[in-house]
């Protein structure tokens, strides 16, 4: 029995990056051997075991055979006769098909170390085309490492899209990979890679259609809306913002892709179209509620936030109420962050000041100073039998918040 460390931990170690999860392949062993050594079996589809002390994953060397479309359509074969090279050959990219033995020696049958040095993402074998998730993974690694897709791998990815293999992706796996991609250092690289192989229009047609759509005349017409959105998500990444913020940044302008040409470049009514498209997209790929809700708020109100300096105190108060800022102050902060990303996601605007952010933060602080509970208590005592008590309380609190905002900003 021989044990090798494989995959991402070896890759990251060679790149000089922090090593997180360590995965191991065991060659020459049976499940019974592993159990005798007190490893705990956890694999459902193939033999995977947890180390008795470290609890790290140890998988028996295995091969795969494609049996049906999609990423689950595989027959797994694990045996003591499967070699390390056979196990590595089934992996997606050469940079992920490098192993390290217990003495520290690198085993690299597919020359992944050369591709690491050159910044190339290259498929290990034609088996790459059997799993559509690998298209998403390759695009995600492009975003993580800023590597280029090898020409032959890009052709293979394009062929997979053309053959309809990408259409077999399930919603949960699409969201999982997209979410990971959005959290990489340069998320735009993922979406541009998916677009270059034709997968973006199949997975996120609402985003793909933004490319070629002009920006409004006041918002840098030299770049189209698709490029603008890519700059916005990259800015969010540079600020190390959360996944909900980055997803909202990706979604905020979807409505412009559905704007009739006769309304270009003003994009009248694009906010309403953005809301509808975002709702459908989130339902289709099962986006979590926190990401969906923030994206909808940003789609609806980012234009108002950009005009914060022109808004009346009453309009600001109503917006704070509409975005549920009082009950969810953390989400309100993320809401402002996403709107700021939209502003900064334009050439030359990366370091410009965005006073709207501070203005609305000050307005919120002022409005928060209103003791809504005390107002409600007083009105209940004065009007115990009033059928309009709820409206009275709402109006009184609103008026008090408007007054505080007016005092703080004007």
CA distance 149 to 349: 30
Q: What is the pLDDT of residue 261?
A: 82
**Band (292; pLDDT cuts 50, 70, 90):** very high
Prediction pTM value: 0.91
Percentage, residues of the chain above pLDDT 90: 82
Residue 74, pLDDT > 60, answer no
**Band (219; pLDDT cuts 50, 70, 90):** low
Q: What is the pLDDT of residue 177?
A: 97
Q: What is the pLDDT of residue 64?
A: 73
Q: Which two tokens stand for residue 134?
A: 């690998």
**Band (269; pLDDT cuts 50, 70, 90):** confident
Q: What is the pLDDT of residue 68?
A: 56
**Band (386; pLDDT cuts 50, 70, 90):** confident
DSSP string, 193-206: HHHHTT-HHHH-HH
Neighbours of 180 (CB within 10 A): 17
3-class SS of residue 75: strand
**Band (265; pLDDT cuts 50, 70, 90):** confident
Identify the sign of the CA torsion 329, 333, 335, 339: positive
Q: Which two tokens stand for residue 205?
A: 């047609």
CA distance 34 to 377: 67
CA distance 295 to 289: 10
**Band (216; pLDDT cuts 50, 70, 90):** confident
3-class SS of residue 208: helix
Percentage, residues of the chain above pLDDT 70: 96
**Band (71; pLDDT cuts 50, 70, 90):** low
Q: What does each C-alpha distance from 344 to 285, 350, 360 come to in angstroms?
A: 28, 5, 17
Q: What is the pLDDT of residue 387?
A: 74
Q: What does each C-alpha distance from 300 to 171, 271, 281, 366 come to in angstroms?
A: 25, 5, 16, 23
Q: Which two tokens stand for residue 308?
A: 């914060």
CA distance 282 to 251: 10
Between 65 and 150, the higher pLDDT residue: 150
Q: What is the pLDDT of residue 373?
A: 94
Q: Which H or E run contains 401? A: helix 389-409
Mean pLDDT of the chain: 93
Q: What is the pLDDT of residue 83?
A: 94
DSSP string, 263-304: GTTT-TTHHHHHHHHHHHHHHHTT--HHHHHHHHHHHHHHHH
**Band (249; pLDDT cuts 50, 70, 90):** very high
**Band (259; pLDDT cuts 50, 70, 90):** confident
User: 42-51, 55-64, 202-211, 342-351: which range is least confident on average?
Assistant: 42-51
Three-point CA angle 281, 284, 290, nearest 5°:
65
Q: Region 212-217: what's the mean pLDDT? A: 83
Q: What is the pLDDT of residue 79?
A: 86
CA distance 173 to 131: 12
Q: Which two tokens stand for residue 309?
A: 């300096």
Inter-residue contact 408 to 365 (CB < 8 Å): yes
Residue 107, beta-bridge partner list: 99
Q: Which two tokens stand for residue 318?
A: 């109503």
Identify the sign of the CA torsion 159, 161, 167, 169: positive
Selection from 19-23, 132-136, 165-169, 382-386 with the highest mean pLDDT = 132-136
Q: What is the pLDDT of residue 263?
A: 77
Three-point CA angle 44, 10, 108, nearest 5°:
100
Q: What is the pLDDT of residue 78?
A: 82
CA distance 290 to 174: 17
Q: What is the pLDDT of residue 97?
A: 97
φ/ψ of 78, rounded to 5, equals: -115, 135
**Band (317; pLDDT cuts 50, 70, 90):** very high
Question: Between helices 289-306 and 355-368, what is the axis angle to 10°?
Answer: 110
**Band (45; pLDDT cuts 50, 70, 90):** low
CA distance 281 to 225: 18
CA distance 204 to 281: 8
**Band (67; pLDDT cuts 50, 70, 90):** low
Q: DSSP alpha helices (H): ranges in 129-170?
A: 133-145, 151-162
Residue 242, pLDDT > 80, answer yes
Q: Region 196-208: what's the mean pLDDT? A: 98
CA distance 55 to 206: 42
């Amino acid at each position: 029995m021989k044990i090798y460390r494989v995959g991402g931990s070896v890759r990251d170690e060679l790149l000089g990056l922090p090593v997180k999860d360590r995965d191991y392949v065991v060659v020459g062993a049976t499940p019974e051997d592993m159990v005798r050594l007190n490893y705990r079996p956890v694999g459902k589809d193939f033999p995977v075991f947890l180390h008795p002390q470290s609890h790290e994953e140890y998988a028996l060397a295995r091969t795969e055979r494609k049996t049906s479309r999609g990423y689950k359509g595989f027959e797994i074969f694990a045996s003591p006769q499967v070699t390390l090279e056979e196990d590595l050959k089934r992996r997606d990219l050469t940079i992920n098909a490098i192993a390290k033995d217990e003495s520290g020696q690198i085993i690299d049958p597919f020359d992944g170390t050369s591709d690491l040095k050159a910044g190339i993402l290259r498929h290990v074998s034609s088996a790459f085309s059997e799993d559509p998730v690998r298209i998403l993974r390759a695009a995600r690694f492009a975003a993580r490492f800023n590597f280029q897709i090898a020409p032959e791998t890009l052709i293979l990815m394009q062929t997979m899209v053309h053959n309809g293999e990408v259409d077999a992706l399930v919603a949960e796996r699409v969201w999982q990979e997209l979410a990971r991609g959005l959290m990489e250092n340069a998320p735009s690289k993922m979406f541009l890679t998916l677009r270059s192989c034709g997968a973006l229009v199949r997975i996120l047609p609402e985003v793909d259609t933004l490319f070629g759509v002009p920006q409004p005349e006041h918002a840098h017409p030299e770049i189209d809306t698709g490029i603008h959105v890519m700059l916005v998500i990259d800015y969010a990444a540079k600020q190390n913002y959360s996944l909900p913020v980055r997803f909202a940044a990706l979604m905020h302008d979807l409505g412009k892709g559905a704007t009739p040409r006769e309304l270009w470049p003003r994009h009248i009514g694009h906010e309403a179209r953005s809301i509808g498209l975002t709702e459908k997209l989130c339902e289709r790929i099962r986006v979590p509620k926190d990401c969906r809700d923030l994206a909808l708020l940003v789609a609806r109100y980012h234009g108002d936030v950009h005009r914060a300096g022109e808004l009346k105190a009453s309009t600001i108060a109503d917006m704070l109420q509409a975005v549920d800022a009082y009950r969810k102050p953390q989400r309100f902060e993320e809401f402002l962050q996403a709107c700021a990303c939209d502003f900064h996601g334009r050439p030359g605007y990366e370091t410009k000041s965005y006073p709207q952010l501070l203005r609305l933060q000050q307005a919120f602080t002022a409005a928060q100073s209103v003791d809504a509970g005390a107002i409600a208590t007083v009105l209940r005592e004065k009007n115990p039998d009033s059928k309009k008590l709820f409206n009275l309380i709402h109006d009184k609190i609103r008026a008090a918040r408007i007054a505080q905002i007016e005092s703080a900003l004007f």
